[in-house]
Amino acid sequence: MVKNPPLHVCRVQQPQASISRIHSLVHSMAILALFYYRVSILFDSTRDKPTLAWALIFASELLLSFIWLLNQAQRWRPVSRTAFPERLPADKELPAIDVFICTADPKREPTVEVMNTVLSAMSLDYPPEKLSVYLSDDGGSSLTLYAMQEALFFARSWLPFCRMYGVKTRCPKVYFSESEDGHSHSQSTEFMADRETIKSKYELFKDRVERARENEGIGYTSVTSDQNPSPLVEVIHVKSNVAMDMDQAEIPLLVYVSRENRPTHPHHFKAGALNVLLRVSGVLSNSPYILVLDCDMNCNDPTSARQAMCFLLDPKISHSLSFVQFPQNFYNISENDIYDCQLRSFIKILWPGYDGHRGPFLSGTGVYIKRKSLYGSPTPKDIDLIQLKQCFGPSNEFIASLCQIHQCNTIGNEDSSNVLQETRLLASCTYEKHTQWGEQARFILHCNGWTSVYCQPSRPAFLGSTTVSMNDIFIQQTRWNCGLLQVGFSRFCPLTYGTLRMSVLQSMCYGFLAFRSLFSIPLLCFATIPQLCLFNGIPIYPKVTDSWFIVFAFVFVSALCKHLSEVLLSGGSFRIWRNEQRIWMLRSVTVYFFGFLDVAMKWIGKRGTGFVPTSKVIDKEHIERYQMGKFDFQAPTMLLVPLIALVVLNMETFIGGVGRVIIETSYDKMFGQIFHTFFILTISYPVIEGMIQRKDRGRVPTSVTLLSVIFSIIFLSLGSVVLI
């Protein structure tokens, strides 16, 4: 018997793994030496030192080292994978896929863009009768519903066109904005004529939706009334089993879902929307695999489904494989990506790193999930109907769908009214009451024995737009960090709940993610305490002539060099390294800190965590500044003041400190702190420039600068009194 060639290969990334291991070892020895120095001085009563400042700096070093340690796990065994879709079985043997797309707000998420995502998913290179596309609309907007009908109309031309010419870019907006598709047909006159026809159809589709938006009547009215906010599930297109009408058979099932949303019921934002889609699709198509997409993430490579199947169908790993995660790539990243919007470390380091320990975490978009894994462990125990209902709620239809998970239902016309009736129950806001829906954290799949893989093909499988304005980045990343830290402090803490159920290295990976916001505490200390001490002439680092100074210098240089080597090895440049250093520092004292505050506020019951979707509306001014690599300080005063005040504090203490060193000639004692403050000021140069030099609208507002100066002076005076 001829052995089938493998559907995919996996290899450990060398030399990254070796460099990381050696570095971890050497760096940890230097850290231990540093601790020894701190402890010996702290408990040496003959040494004159500001005990509070020393203790705070030492605590910060301990916390920073702890997060560093967690961080090493994801660098231990990075892997990369390649899939061979051409080796998959014939189309008729492929399993069905449900695509879930979420949208929430037609004002922040332009409907035409959302439809582009829908169209790109409908035209995936996969048997259309095995594809079902669901759109969840938390905005409940009649515009979205109308646009879906228009999108279906356009899809009837778009899909055959893509298939006929093997179009690679199946998101119409992107396709028509590119000059060529790199296809041999691109020269033929027939192709050019067809392309023009389709282009005008796309323009027509866009115009219709735009006009509907401008027309108040159909614009933002709700699909449900205030008196009757019941859910709406509308099957826009039914795929027919019998290919009587060719046109019908070639378009996937298309469903619009607007779940019930009452202010009195928690609706769990996107997670709640996905749960509703899971149930509704369960009784409609019940495909064994699910692709989850954000409305701003279009399918850039139509073969992604087939690539995912190379893993999901591989008998060697499929038993426990829960999902295949693709990276989140964005098309609107500028060359000098000042805010690190491309999330380089996530895409190039974290995900491959997690993949080396039984799999990456779920990002929430661009992921193919095995439906069964969302319903229990890979080796489920027998449970009876009553238990099933306690877990999954009262719907008999849905429970039945669980039982036949490997078999696909199709909705026929005769029973569609009953099934649709059931979908409304499943999309109601009370359905989850007294059930286990929405109770678990996202790494629970791995705790239950499931694994995942990370697939990063050279052509990005999904491409999205990301936010490139400082204000939106503040909102978005505060939300991320708050959510992650909440898991860290919940009963699902990866370091406790996780270590009992996963490997130590895997729990460390998740621990890093959950506790990353805690970077804010040591970094806030490092941004203030050495500076206060410098200003008051108190040393907290060894003298530059002392041999212990080498330990501190080594830890600093070794951390920077490791980061630089990672950036360069992953194809980055020196500039990316500098940007990432800067943004890490700025993030630590802003979004990580706000995320931490959000969790603290939630604890004391002051506010619930919300999910404000980022704005996907193109704002020319913000984009221009981002493209030019100029920081954009058009953000709320509340968010800017802490950052600006810290930079001002560093400027004040640097000037004061250097003045003192010159007068007292205490150069060797204070060198460490002078360098420390100087480094911060160099890294924060764009902030200083925004305060002092810039005149454009993106500069730091004068009111913010003034307020920051006042705060920094108060802090400097109080701090000097308390610490010294």
Ligand X SMILES: O=c1ccn([C@@H]2O[C@H](COP(=O)(O)OP(=O)(O)O[C@H]3O[C@H](CO)[C@@H](O)[C@H](O)[C@H]3O)[C@@H](O)[C@H]2O)c(=O)[nH]1
Nearest distance in Å: CB 459, ligand X = 20
Does a cis peptide bond (omega within 30 degrees of 0) precede residue 172? no
Binding of residue 294 to ligand X (CB under 6 A): yes
Cβ closest to ligand X, residue 129 vs residue 296: 296
What distance in Å separates the CA atoms of residue 292 and residue 270, rounded to the nearest whole number?
Answer: 11
Binding of residue 586 to ligand X (CB under 6 A): no
Exposed/middle/buried for 43, CB within 10 Å: 0-12, 13-18, 19+? exposed
Spatial CB neighbours of 498, under 8 Å, sequence gap ≥ 6: 443, 447, 492, 506, 507, 510, 511
Binding of residue 339 to ligand X (CB under 6 A): no
Q: Which of 549, 575, 572 is nearest to 30 (CA)?
A: 549
Binding of residue 141 to ligand X (CB under 6 A): no
Binding of residue 138 to Mn ion (CB under 5 A): no
Exposed/middle/buried for 620, CB within 10 Å: 0-12, 13-18, 19+? exposed
**Token match 């009992």: residue?**
500
Is residue 566 annotated as involved in ligand binding?
A: no
Nearest distance in Å: CB 114, Mn ion = 12
Q: How far apart are the first and last CA of the chain?
A: 81
Binding of residue 258 to ligand X (CB under 6 A): no
Helix axes 504-515, 470-488, angle to 10 degrees: 130
Binding of residue 109 to ligand X (CB under 6 A): yes
Binding of residue 296 to ligand X (CB under 6 A): yes
Binding of residue 273 to ligand X (CB under 6 A): yes
Q: Report how many residues bind Mn ion under the rule CB under 5 A.
A: 2
Nearest distance in Å: CB 466, ligand X = 6
Nearest distance in Å: CB 595, ligand X = 11
Binding of residue 614 to ligand X (CB under 6 A): yes
For Mn ion, the nearest residue by Cβ is 296
Binding of residue 138 to ligand X (CB under 6 A): yes
**Token match 């019941």: residue?**
230
Binding of residue 295 to ligand X (CB under 6 A): yes
Per this entry, what is the length of the chain?
Answer: 724
Is residue 138 annotated as involved in ligand binding?
A: yes
Cβ closest to ligand X, residue 460 vs residue 530: 460
Query: 3-state DSSP call for residue 102?
Result: strand
Is residue 109 annotated as involved in ligand binding?
A: yes
What distance in Å separates the CA atoms of residue 618 and residue 178, rounded to the nearest whole number?
Answer: 18
Cβ closest to Mn ion, residue 525 vs residue 591: 591
What distance in Å separates the CA atoms of residue 598 and residue 607, rounded to the nearest whole number?
Answer: 8
Q: What is the 8-class DSSP label of residue 516?
A: G
Cβ closest to ligand X, residue 141 vs residue 448: 141
613 contact, one of Mn ion, ligand X, none, CB 5-8 Å limit per kind: ligand X
What distance in Å separates the CA atoms of residue 500 and residue 506, rounded to the nearest whole number?
Answer: 11
Binding of residue 472 to Mn ion (CB under 5 A): no
Q: What Rg value do the Cα atoms of the chain yield, rounded?
A: 28
Q: Which of 57, 58, 61 is nearest to 532 (CA)?
A: 57
Cβ closest to ligand X, residue 234 vs residue 314: 234
Q: Report how many residues bind ligand X under the rule CB under 6 A.
A: 22
**280-299 binders of Mn ion (CB under 5 A):** 294, 296
Nearest distance in Å: CB 168, Mn ion = 23
Q: Which of 277, 300, 330 is nearest to 103 (CA)?
A: 277
Binding of residue 13 to ligand X (CB under 6 A): no
Q: b/e map of 642-680 (b: 16 or more CB within 10 Å)?
A: bbbbbbbbbbbbbebbbebbeeeeeeebbbbbbbbbeeb
Cβ atoms within 10 Å, residue 175: 22
Cβ closest to ligand X, residue 114 vs residue 646: 114
Q: What is the 8-class DSSP label of residue 222?
A: B
Spatial CB neighbours of 325, under 8 Å, sequence gap ≥ 6: 351, 359, 360, 361, 362, 363, 366, 367, 452, 453, 454, 455
Query: 3-state DSSP call for residue 350?
Result: helix
Exposed/middle/buried for 579, CB within 10 Å: 0-12, 13-18, 19+? buried
What distance in Å separates the CA atoms of residue 171 and residue 169, rounded to the nearest whole number?
Answer: 6
Q: Which residues are registered as beta bridge partners of 131?
A: 97
Nearest distance in Å: CB 60, ligand X = 28
611, 678, 679, 711: residue in contact with ligand X (rule CB under 6 A): 611
Nearest distance in Å: CB 269, ligand X = 4
What distance in Å separates the CA atoms of residue 479 and residue 473, rounded to the nearest whole number?
Answer: 10
Site string for ligand X, 352-371 (x = CB under 6 A): -----------xxx------
8, 75, 270, 622: residue in contact with ligand X (rule CB under 6 A): 270
Are 506 and 446 in contact, with CB atoms under 8 Å apart?
Answer: yes
Nearest distance in Å: CB 343, ligand X = 10
Nearest distance in Å: CB 296, Mn ion = 4
Cβ closest to Mn ion, residue 296 vs residue 598: 296
Cβ closest to ligand X, residue 132 vs residue 486: 486
Can you list the positions of beta strands (E) in 502-551? none
Site string for ligand X, 465-494 (x = CB under 6 A): -----------x--xx--------------
576 contact, one of ligand X, Mn ion, none, CB 5-8 Å limit per kind: none
Cβ closest to ligand X, residue 115 vs residue 647: 115
Is residue 180 annotated as involved in ligand binding?
A: no
Residue span binding ligand X (CB under 6 A) among the ranges 103-111, 330-338, 349-357, 556-564: 103-111
Q: Which of 344, 294, 612, 325 is nearest to 463 (CA)?
A: 294
Residue span binding ligand X (CB under 6 A) among the ranges 37-45, 99-107, 196-204, 413-421: 99-107
Binding of residue 102 to ligand X (CB under 6 A): yes
Cβ closest to ligand X, residue 270 vs residue 676: 270
For ligand X, the nearest residue by Cβ is 364
What distance in Å separates the CA atoms of residue 175 and residue 120, rounded to the nearest whole number?
Answer: 10
**Token match 């404000």: residue?**
612
Residue span binding ligand X (CB under 6 A) among the ranges 98-106, 151-159, 207-215, 373-381: 98-106
- Which residue ranges make up the site for Mn ion (CB under 5 A)? 294, 296
Feature table: binding site for UDP-alpha-D-glucose: 109, 138
Which residues line the annotated binding site for Mn(2+)?
Answer: 270, 294
Binding-site members are 109, 138, 270, 294
> What residues make contact with ligand X under the rule CB under 6 A?
102-104, 109, 136, 138, 269-270, 273, 294-296, 328, 363-365, 476, 479-480, 611, 613-614
